[in-house]
Amino acid sequence: MPSPSPSLTYCTRLSLRSSSSNIPLSRSFSQTSARRKHGSLPTFPPTSSPDLDNLLSTLRNNIFLPSHLIRPHRQLIYRKTLHRYLLGEDPVSITLAGEKHTLTPLDHLVDEPGTTKSFHQVMDLLKEKKDYDILPGLLEGYKKSGRVLRKGMAEKMIRRATEAGRGGVVMECLRRVEKTGVRLDDVAVAREAMWVAVQQAVQSEWSELGLEKALKFAEGVLDLLEDTRHMPPKHVAPSDDPLFKPEIVGVALDLSATLATKFPSSTPSHAKKLGQYAKRISTLWPNADLHIDPENWNDANYKLLMWLPVWHGLKVANRLPEKSPEVRQLTGVPLQQVGQAVERARDVVLAHGREEGEREGMRRGLKLYGELAGALTR
């Protein structure tokens, strides 16, 4: 490791002095090019909301920047006894990846927004499609700063981006997992990622182009599930691994089945893909959990959302004049089992909605039921 520069050595010694020190900062320190801990700071393009721009600026300056600083610089911004050096006529600045930053005093309790609160504020301020471009940088900033997203926050981000038609941003976050921290080893996150593909098909009104795009996304997620960066810990049982969930793989089956039936001449390879996914699901069928607890609407709603594409895909595949042995096997008893589970789950969600009022999650499941059931009649 190279020896620290004289200016950095001076900074280290100075920051350890008592508050009675009256030695001024030299110009060589105030313009040092800092050795940094995490590389360059994430940058954010302008958004449609001034409030969002201001919040992102606060996060960048008060959370992300300090995490990139070496210890002497962090001491300068956080130690009240050293703040006078930052407030003098000669400001202290550092350069990170060619970008100059002026250091200012910070108070952990006052100046640093909480992770959960600021994350939800950002989500609420995303209004236009282009605003979602900030998500990879936001997640990278949180991760490099040691800020951990609570359970459910990554799913919310994926869900909101999906509703805005920004599946590409979701895929970017998943592919940059080492920087964003959005991992597919959590079944809930994998479910929302596959939900992107379902919505891409629905939003395109089941057009050939839309289905091709959706299938490509679903297959991209399945590929990432086999990526070591997304694999769950070794102690996790296969039945809890998203890669071995038949309902996760079932999204790709649904899309390939729809392509094979609606556009058989333009893309004959989809019939082959359908057979491959049917074989894969047949192998995973022992992991299928189709039990519906009438007292647990959350679990019923999850199963409604995730098994609906499998149900739709098998119903569509059953219309094919020629079916592979694997497809024929799934369109027998398994299709009946899935259909019964879907109807039971829908009944539980409807009953709970009548008793306590519909919630966002309920509306998603019931809406998808209507969309996929309607698609079968076209």
pLDDT the model gives residue 177: 97
What's residue 34's pLDDT? 46
Distance, C-alpha 254 to centroid of its chain: 23
User: Can you tell me the distance from the alpha carbon of 90 to that of 26, in angstroms, rounded to the nearest whole number?
Assistant: 9
Alpha carbon 311 to its chain's center: 26
Consecutive H or E run containing 223: helix 208-225
pLDDT value for 15: 37
Q: What is the predicted pLDDT for the residue at 198?
A: 96
DSSP, residue by residue, 285-296: GGG------TT-
Specify burial of residue 89 (Cβ count, 10 A radius: 0-12, 13-18, 19+).
Answer: exposed
Q: Looking at residue 239, what is its pLDDT?
A: 82
Per-residue pLDDT reduced to its tens digit, 326-375: 999 999 999 999 999 999 999 999 998 776 656 666 678 899 999 998 88
How many of the other CB atoms lie within 10 Å of CB of 114? 11
- Please say whether the beta carbons of 187 and 180 come within 8 A: no
Tokens encoding 72:
């002497």
End-to-end CA distance of the chain: 68
pLDDT of residue 4: 44
Identify residue 47 by its one-letter amino acid code: T
As given in the structure block, the two tokens for residue 89 are 């006529």
Is the separation of the CB atoms in 134 and 44 below 8 Å?
yes
List Cβ neighbours of 341 (8 Å cut-off, separation of 6 or more). Answer: 290, 291, 292, 303, 307
Confirm whether pTM is higher than 0.75.
yes
Contacts by residues 93-98 (CB-CB < 8 Å, ≥ 24 positions apart): 93/30, 93/31, 94/32, 94/33, 94/34, 94/69, 95/31, 95/32, 95/33, 95/34, 96/34, 96/36, 96/40, 96/41, 96/65, 96/68, 97/36, 97/39, 97/40, 97/41
Regions of the chain with pLDDT less than 50: 1-31, 33-35
* Whole-number pLDDT of residue 88: 80
| CB-based burial label for 40 (10 Å; 0-12, 13-18, 19+) | exposed
